[in-house]
Amino acid sequence: MSSAEYDLIIVGGGPAGLTAGLYAARAMLNAVLVEKGAVGGQVLLTDWVDNYPGFPEGISGFELIDKMAAQAARFGLKTMLGSVTAMDLNDPVKRLTMEDGSQLTAKAVIISTGARPKQLGVPGEVELTGKGVSYCATCDGPFYRNREVAVIGGGNTAVEEAVFLTRFADKVTVIHRRNELRATKISQKHAFANEKVHFLLDTQVQSIVGKDGVEGVQLKNNNGEESFLPVYGVFMLIGTAPNNEMLPLDDLGADSYGFIPTDGEMRTSIPGVMAVGDIRSKAVRQVVNAAGEGAVAVLAVEEYLQQLA
Amino acid sequence: MAGDKVVHVSDSDFAAQVMESDLPVLLDFWAPWCGPCKAIGPVIDELADEFDGKAKITKMNVDDNPATPGKFGVRAIPTLILFKGGEVVEQVTGAVGKAQLVAMITKAL
């Protein structure tokens, strides 16, 4: 058996991966964090984080990540820029293939590849992405000053970002296919109190219409009535899809949505492989539990490495 | 230093820097309030180093320069447009991976 280059490779630098990196660096493991763009993950899509403890006034998604990265760097966490395209995890030496064909090897791997906003899958969506179809209200909201926009979805992200968009847009219509919202009561209360936010419940999007840019959405009420809502922008905030293209899903026993199940110590079904953050099969996807999972996983990695020795 | 080869373009010098460039030009529309724009920043810096002399890698702050994004129908950032000979070759939106951008530029060389 050839020896592994690293004790631990952490794949993905969102809150879960960065916290794992912090704990790994402080535990003096020979670890590297691999990130395809720059550190961040989905929290970068959030304008303001009001529920991460320790920041009584709240903090921007970007600043929170910046602080997490700086904290891990202070303890010497090594990070590497690049995309992992394949993982061979079953042997004691785990082998990761990068997009340039090079390979990294480690005794243990923490998968923190996260998730991304889900596509709705209606005609016009792909063609008009970036031309009125958006998955990030924080990024694109300012393009919609004094315009009318639609938000698709009924969860926390949809309802909270609808309120955020009223800073720019004259009117924001939240379109949800069910007859009630899934968002928490406090989020709903903020949205209901905002006179620029309107709701179209029991309504599904049939297609997004526009030539050089979005001109409106074709809708169908659950009782069969069809209508057209003219809007300049459509924000798709309907949940997340796992970033799992590089993972051996069968070996990891992925659930039917493609997320990875673990035990309470973040161990997957493969020895020496942990999964943390939004890629994990779980109900609650918050920054605070992503961070907690990163810490737990490193303790499980340390235990695993001790058994190997 | 990484990133010092990236050319910052404005509405006023867009024609000279991009449309009249002899080399293919990648233009990254970004803004300081956009997290994913910051996330691909290091990738843009690396591209500028790797394609030095072969393609021009540029950025435009859409807050300071509203005219050019409007002209190209940009309503989301990051949006990256590849120009060659004053024409749009390809346009992508979102924090795409480095490999995709390298392939896009290489095709236009």
CA separation, residue A27 to residues A21, A77, A93 (Å): 10, 11, 21
In terms of pTM, does the model score above 0.90? Answer: no
Please tell me whether residues A223 and A184 are part of one structural domain: yes
Q: Which of B73, B77, B78 sits opposite A213 (nearest CB)?
A: B73
Same-domain check for residues A244 and A100: yes
pLDDT of residue B2: 57
In a domain, A128, yes or no: no
Last residue of a domain, one of A236, A265, A296: A236
Q: Which amino acid is at A301?
A: V
Count of Cβ atoms closer than 10 Å to residue B88 Cβ: 11
Looking at the structure, do residues A89 and A227 belong to the same domain, yes or no? no
Residue that is last in its domain, among A236, A260, A285: A236
User: Please, which residues 132-151 of chain A have a Cβ atom closer than 8 Å to chain B?
Assistant: 132-136, 138-140, 142-144
How many Å apart are CA B44 and CA A89, to the nearest integer?
31
- Dihedrals phi, psi of A119, to nearest 5 degrees: -85, 150
* A136-161 confidence digits (pLDDT tens): 888 889 899 999 999 999 999 999 99
Residue of A nearest to B73 (CA): A131
Among A65, A99, A130, whose Cβ lies nearest the Cβ of B76?
A130
Q: A67-123, pLDDT tens digit by residue?
A: 999 999 999 999 998 889 999 999 999 999 998 899 999 999 999 999 998 999 999
Choose the weakest-confidence range: A55-69, A100-114, A269-283. A55-69
Measured between beta carbons, which residues in chain A are less than 8 angstroms from residue B74? 130, 143
Q: How confident is the model at residue B94, as a pLDDT?
A: 80
Instruction: Answer whether residue A125 is part of any domain.
Output: no
Ranges assigned E (strand) in A154-284 = 171-175, 197-200, 203-210, 214-221, 226-230, 233-236, 240-242, 273-275
Contact flag A140-B99 (C-beta cutoff 8 Å): no
Segments making up each domain of chain B, as ranges? 7-108
* Residue A248: cis peptide before it, omega within 30 degrees of 0: no
Q: Is the dihedral of CA A113, A118, A123, A125 positive or negative?
A: negative
Report yes or no on A124 lying in a domain: no
- A193-241 pLDDT, tens per residue? 999 999 999 999 999 999 989 999 999 999 999 999 999 999 999 988 9
Domain count, chain A: 2
Q: When comparing pLDDT for A4 and A98, which is higher?
A: A98
Q: What is the pLDDT of residue A204?
A: 97
Examine residue A24 and state whether it is found in any structural domain, yes or no: yes
**pLDDT of A309:** 80
Same domain, A225 and A245: no
Spacing of C-alpha A304 from chain mean position: 28
Same domain, A244 and A302: yes
Specify the DSSP element, H or E, that contains A126.
none
Q: Are residues A143 and A212 in the same domain?
A: yes
Does A246 map to a domain?
A: yes
Q: Give the pLDDT band of residue A1 (cuts 50, 70, 90).
A: very low
Any catalytic annotation for residue B34? yes
pLDDT along chain B (109 residues), means of 10: 82 96 96 83 91 96 92 90 95 82 93
Cβ–Cβ gap A99/B75 under 8 Å? no
Q: For the domain that residue A228 is a member of, what is the CATH number? A: 3.50.50.60
Instruction: Give the pLDDT band of residue A9 (cuts 50, 70, 90).
Output: very high
Looking at residue B76, its pLDDT comes to 87
The number of angstroms, rounded, from the C-alpha of A108 to the middle of its chain's C-alpha atoms is: 23
Instruction: Give the separation between CA A74 and CA A69, rounded to whole angstroms.
Output: 9
Residues of A in contact with B30 (CB under 8 A): none
Please tell me whether residues A197 and A248 are part of one structural domain: no
Q: By three-state DSSP, how is residue A244 classified?
A: coil
Same domain, A12 and A102: yes
* Residue A126 domain-assigned (yes or no): no
Its domain, for residue A207, covers 133-236
Provide φ and ψ at B98, rounded to 5°.
Answer: -65, -40
Residue A60 scores a pLDDT above 90: no
Is CATH 3.40.50.300 what the domain over B7-108 is classified as, yes or no? no
The one catalytic residue in B7, B31, B34, B89 is: B34
pLDDT of res. A265: 97
Angle between helices B98-108 and B35-50 (to 10 degrees): 50
